[in-house]
Amino acid sequence: MSAAQPGQLMRNAGVPGVHRLPVYRDQDGYTPLVNALKMTPADLIDLVDKAQVRGRGGAGFSMGRKWKFVPPRDKVDKPVYLAVNADEGEPGTFKDRWILENDPHSMLEGIAIAAWALQCHDAFIYIRGEFVKPIHIVQTAIQECYEAGIFGPRVMGKDFRLDVTVHVGAGAYICGEETGLLNSIEGKPGQPSLKPPFPAVEGLWGCPTIVQNVESLAVLPPLITLGVAEWLKLGDETHGGTKMYSISGHVKRAGVYDAPHDVSLRDLIYGEDYCQGIREGHTLKGVIPGGSSSPILTPDEIDVPMTFDALKGAGSMLGSAGTIVLDETTDMVAVATRVARFYAHESCGQCTPCREGSGWMHRILRNIQEGKGRASDLDLLLDIMGQIEGGRTICALADGTAWPLRAFVTKYREEFEAYIERGGPPPGATVSTS
């Protein structure tokens, strides 16, 4: 964890017991909610829009803009739902877990603020089933909120009901996709649905539903406290506030860091306040900046601000901000094969390009890894990637496997070619049981 000034998302880091309500309140907790409740829902939505809050689950979509998609209450008389995506499953990502375990009330307060803005009375927090300890912590915090009148029939004494329910997932990466998540809440297999209709218009049980990531909602209390102008100063004109980054791999000090949005990838890896460099005696070989769905960057590509727009410009993406740092001991063929296997496993199977393409790419890579690769395999892989991506599937998992694999195969092509020529791994390397 950063020794530097904690940012806005991790402002309560190091406060013992802040996952419990009395301590959270001591840190001025729930004052932002009191202030938000004095605003009209319309003004609150405008504030969020002006603050350029970008969703932090992976897509970076404008939160205020999404909220404005909800049909006006005088036009559509259906309940509005809020679904919190705590299904953190993108490899390399563990920032939401930090919030759930260490500062759950910041998320719960964000839920209450969002619910008021959206005039939503029922929120579901979808937590992945593996997170047994975070689930208990969150349920305790929710209980505290009910007892304190923050949740329940009269939020903070206002004539406004809010019920918050934890919905425990049961093992499926694809439930992190918003429509997969909603289908799972409805009791179905978590297979994504076609968009449009978008959840904001037609989500849970056909009703307008806003899906937001844990960190996105945790933004709301500090945003209300600071106000839009100060919030934007912490970022830039395309997104405000500080941002949590999960950094792992071959660094000296892995962990969750809360940094200004435009911190550079180089700073995160080498900075004294961040990961303090590659592990002793090793050198950087590549970095996956935003979870396994993001294209890998080479050492000469790390002078890039860690923003949604800058990384997109660099041919990658911020995604879930799950940064994985890889040094020269890394076998890129092995990593690519393992990444391919992840997506092949997690494909829900609905769409032919993804179902067949993900498995096919994994088998080709495994063949290369096991010494059965052919010279034509790399071009075949690139061809398959082109066939499965770009809107041919119900959800973006196909793109999520094509993009990173393309980057591995093009940026580290000699390694793959060497495997094929050599007929297997370099001497001394162990082949993983993929």
Partner 1 sequence: MALEFPPEALRELEQTRTRYPTARGAILPALWLAQKHFGYLSAEAMEYVATLLEVPAPQVYSAATFYTLYHKSPPAKCHIQLCTNVTCMVLGGYDLLHHAERRLGIRAGESTEDNGFRLEEVECLASCGTAPAMQVNDRYEECLTPAKIDAVLREFGLQIKAAEEGGEA
**Residues contributing to the site for partner 1 (CB under 8 A):** 88-94, 96-97, 122, 128-133, 163, 165, 167-173, 184-191, 205, 246-250, 254-256, 288, 292, 322, 324, 326, 329-330, 334-335, 338-339, 342, 345-346, 430, 432-433
Smallest distance from partner 1 to CB 357, Å: 19
Residue from 348, 361, 362, 363 nearest 393 by CA: 348
Q: Tell how strand 209-213 and strand 122-127 pair up.
A: unpaired
The rounded distance, in Å, linking the Cα atoms of 320 and 311 is: 12
φ/ψ (deg, to 5) at 152: 120, -160
Smallest distance from partner 1 to CB 415, Å: 15
Whose Cβ is closer to partner 1: residue 62's or residue 213's?
213
Residue from 57, 8, 28 nearest 308 by CA: 57
Smallest distance from partner 1 to CB 284, Å: 13
41's tokens: 């829902």
* Length of the chain (residues): 434
The rounded distance, in Å, linking the Cα atoms of 13 and 198 is: 36
Whose Cβ is closer to partner 1: residue 143's or residue 376's?
143
Whose Cβ is closer to partner 1: residue 133's or residue 233's?
133
User: Count of alpha carbons within 13 Å of 386, Cβ hemisphere only?
Assistant: 6
Smallest distance from partner 1 to CB 224, Å: 28
The strand pairing partners of 324, in sequence order, are 248, 288
Smallest distance from partner 1 to CB 260, Å: 20
Q: Tell how strand 322-327 and strand 209-213 pair up.
A: unpaired
Whose Cβ is closer to partner 1: residue 129's or residue 153's?
129
Whose Cβ is closer to partner 1: residue 45's or residue 182's?
182
209 sits in which H/E element: strand 209-213
Smallest distance from partner 1 to CB 160, Å: 18
Whose Cβ is closer to partner 1: residue 191's or residue 316's?
191
